Amino acid sequence: MELLERTHIGELAQHIGQIIRIRGRVDTIRDQGKIIFIMVRDRSGIVQTVAWFGDEDLFKTAKTLTAESVIDITGEVKEAKQVACGYEIGIKTLNIDSLAQTPLPIAIEGEHVDNVTALDKRLDYRWVDLRSRRNQLMMDVATTMGASFRQYCVDNGCVEINAPRVISAASESGANVFEVKYFDRKAYLAQSPQFHKQMGMASDLERVFNMGPVFRAEKSFTTRHLTEYTSFDVEMAYIDSYKDVCHFEQEMLKKMLADVKAKYGDKVKEVFGIDIKVPEGDFPYLTVAEAKEKLAKAGVESKDTGDFSPEEERAMGEIMEKETGSEFVFVVDYPYARRAFYHMRDSENPKIAMGFDLFWKGLEITTGAQREHRIDVLKKNAVERGMELDGQLKDYLEYFEYGCPPHGGFGMGTERVVMKMLDFGSILETTYLPNTPNRLGKLLSKITTGQAKA
């Protein structure tokens, strides 16, 4: 007998009265003696299937099923007014592709249930955890987000690059890099594609973007940090100001949110209870000094004049949304001493960097700046930071020796964007398989990391 082509469950309404074939997972089983109801799900939906006692071999197979087993069914799509969707499948053949062990190591979270199983254990069995409706939708949203970012960049004259992730020089100043052995020499996992984005400017590509992994060797045990995350980066040549970069990112985010809302807005509302807001107009700007003043008036304590604590970020988001109606805010005029050496200084106030951070709903999602493109100034900045010009920076500095246009760009943590869009409580939940100081795929022991579990 020739096999039927698979029909996705979400398409069954078009096949009432027909014999079809579905393949998917056993969601739940109700054994009522002489009739067994098997709820089957795939990526497109869920359907009730029915096995009757009359077919002895089929019924015997159905009796052996366990939840989460993978099965292959042929049957007739029948009208069934007692079922919410209005139809069910009468099973004619049932094959088990893969029988799931029981019990499951974790409970797959239900539609309206939060934190059924501890997060650490859920992440240790991430391939099971990702089967939940919430996580399936999260992955769909993340896919549309990435596609929208890419398309916006392509539509606006950008070239996609794939910057190397093993590099000869650390891409940021400081010691938070992973060293790797590269044959007989030392190399590093890239903290950012920054240097190679700027190479694209020197190459006359003019506008580039890159989506890929970056690495931070920081022992940060928080709900917003990872040692490996996916960054979406853009660099643009011939800018007049870092605000040109801000405008590009602003419009890119607005387009992305509109795309996600159009494709998944109703599902996000149903599953997460969130109405995705597509901003109108320009995002507000706020200087660091103005932000600190607003926070002080609100009674939020500050211990750092040049940066913000998580508590300050959350409060600033609430204040600005109340004052402006915007969930987004560009914060500018950071002290140059706190920014990367390749950020351009304000010519009128050299203590200020020509850069920005973008905050969304009280969380920093982006750092960006106008870069220093003049080789003499760039060398001077590096020397001031105690960096060796003839050492690790030599290759980078060569990009500027033969002419490089004024340029700027930004890097955005994509997992943070999904986290804020869907209001997840932790970035670990919006990462396919998160790595942190105490997690490398699975949770590491305290002895291995020398750190207590976060």
pLDDT at residue 173 greater than cutoff 80: no
Look at phi and psi of residue 60 and say left if phi exceeds 0, alpha if psi is from -120 to 50, else beta: alpha
Question: Residue 217, annotated ligand binder?
Answer: yes
Residue ranges covered by each domain of the chain = 9-98, 131-431
Known binding residue 374? Answer is no
- Confidence band, pLDDT 50/70/90 cuts, at residue 111: low
How far is the C-alpha of 163 from the C-alpha of 113, rounded, in Å? 41
| Distance spanning both ends of the chain, measured CA to CA | 56
pLDDT of residue 454: 39
Establish whether 290 is an annotated binding residue: no
Is residue 290 over pLDDT 80?
A: yes
Known binding residue 172? Answer is: yes
Does the annotation flag 15 for ligand binding? no
Give the pLDDT score at 168: 84
User: What is the CATH code for 9-98?
Assistant: 2.40.50.140
Residue 401 assigned as binding residue: no
Rounded average pLDDT over 314-339? 97
Share of the chain above pLDDT 90, in %: 87
Q: How far is Cα 49 from Cα 56, in angstroms, rounded to an integer?
A: 17
Q: What is the pLDDT of residue 109?
A: 77
- Ligand-binding site membership of 371 (annotated): yes
Find out whether 374 and 332 touch, Cβ atoms under 8 Å.
no
364 is in an annotated binding site: yes
User: Is residue 47 within 8 Å of 27, Cβ to Cβ?
Assistant: no
What are 175's two structure tokens?
Answer: 């010691």
When pLDDT is cut at 50, 70 and 90, the band that residue 453 belongs to is very low
Indicate if the pLDDT at residue 72 is higher than 60.
yes
- Confirm whether residue 312 is marked as ligand binding: no
Alpha-carbon span 192 to 213, nearest angstrom: 8
- Would the annotation count 251 as a binding residue? no
Give backbone dihedrals phi and psi of 308, rounded to 5 degrees, phi first: -130, 140
Tell whether residue 207 is among the known ligand binding residues: no
Mean pLDDT for the stretch of residues 435-450: 77
Residue 430 assigned as binding residue? no
Cα 400 from chain centre: 33
Give me the pLDDT at residue 451, please: 46
Fold for the domain defined by 131-431: BirA Bifunctional Protein; domain 2 (3.30.930)
